[in-house]
Amino acid sequence: MRNTEHPRADDAGFSLVELLVAMVLVLIIMGATMTALSNAYRSTESAKAITGLNNNLRIGIDLIVRDLIQVGQGLPTGRLVQVPNGTLALQIQRPHPQGSPPSSTCTAWPAGTTVIPAVTVGPGCGPVINGVATDMVTTLAVDSVLDGFLVQSFNETNPATTTPATAATVAIPAASAGGSPVRVGDLMMFTKGSASALAYVTAATAVTAAGGNQTFTFAAGDPMNLNQSAAALNGTVDDLATTAPTTANSSSVSRIRMISYYLDNTLDPTTPRLMRHMNWGDPAAAVNHRGLTVAFAIDNLQFTYDMLDGVTNPSNVRMEAADLTAAGACSPNPCSPNQIRKVNVFLSGRSTQTYSVTKRFFRNALNTQVSLRSLALVDRYK
């Protein structure tokens, strides 16, 4: 007899309906999972972009504020430094960005300049980015590491001779010599009484970590035209050295930190950057390689100034050409860089990459105001 077994219902495979339901459920779960992963990726992408943007802005504004706080520190009375001036004087060249506008105020101090102030403005002296002309600023402060050292001798102290003073010998203490002796390219400010002179170091002798005498040279032909020594000129090192008294230790010298801030869009046209330019930089390097990049994807830099004129004390002055006339913001008198007491800084930037969802950049901006304490505060006991 044949024993026939009939299959049980629970041994049967999935029905088509069950299979379709299972596939729909899997698709729903996978879709939800992929959506969650996509949202997480986009959130990470946006957070990373915004964090990078804010970090660039923060780093840039922090450096600007740090340098502005020190503006004017250690400079002579009036916070001005004398430069060569007079008949046949050459214009003093100013650090500037690549492709700077042809205005002479962007590439040099105006002809006839007798002193350089603690703050040299530069409205519109930066590159045009997104249709907006950006600004530049140049500041002066004494480097506290090399400040007020006595000059033991100049290589010329006799006014009757025709050989100009082109070198000075200074005793550098060990604390300064070990970390930061005078080097080629440094700017040195000589002072004697109320007189001062700014020089560009073209050569310097070696100095040991134990300190000792260091002789540095300021020969003619420097890239900034600071080392001028014609007899008819004022504000030169030779003029200061040959002015009585000409004895040893009658003059002092300090190292100057000339710092310029501007934007550059030539190193990478797709990503403008904030540049910090110390002194003149390497004369052999291209203009856009003389500064140091401190922040990326910065597309606007603007400066305005709060002034002290004793009358209206105007604020947020752009210091454009019109403001330097009697009809400007300080009317009825022209505005002067010597009246600047506060600097208002506007810095805006974008993310380095576009957002994958909108295909656009994230953008943000920072504003701050810096009181120039060496200009705003006066030591009445000094």
What mean pLDDT comes out for the span 242-255?
89
pLDDT of residue 132: 93
H helix or E strand, kind and range, residue 27 = helix 16-69
pTM for the whole thing? 0.87
Residue 202 has pLDDT above 50, yes or no: yes
pLDDT of residue 134: 95
Between 356 and 294, name the one with better pLDDT.
294
What mean pLDDT comes out for the span 106-122?
93
C-beta separation of 306 from 313 below 8 A: yes
C-beta separation of 50 from 360 below 8 A: no
Q: Which amino acid appears at position 83 of this protein?
A: V
Between 109 and 99, name the one with better pLDDT.
109
Query: CB-based contacts of 185: which residues, under 8 Å, 6+ apart?
Result: 200, 201, 279, 280, 281, 282
pLDDT of residue 119: 96
Residue 1 has pLDDT above 60, yes or no: no
Which tokens belong to 188? 């040195």
Mean pLDDT of the chain: 87
CA distance 17 to 34: 26
- Whether the bond between 95 and the residue before it is cis, its omega within 30 degrees of 0, is no
pLDDT of residue 380: 46
| Residue 243 neighbours by CB distance under 10 Å | 14
What mean pLDDT comes out for the span 112-117?
94
Residue 360 has pLDDT above 70, yes or no: yes
pLDDT of residue 103: 67
CA distance 37 to 155: 74
Q: Which of 142, 119, 64, 192 is nearest to 375 (CA)?
A: 119
pLDDT of residue 381: 45
CA distance 46 to 25: 31
pLDDT tens per residue, range 51-76? 999 999 999 999 999 999 999 999 99
The proportion of the chain whose per-residue pLDDT surpasses 70, expressed as a percent, equals 90
E strand segments, 73-217: 80-82, 115-117, 119-122, 128-129, 132-133, 136-142, 149-154, 167-172, 187-192, 195-200, 203-204, 212-217
CA distance 366 to 60: 10
pLDDT of residue 105: 78
| Residue 137 neighbours by CB distance under 10 Å | 25
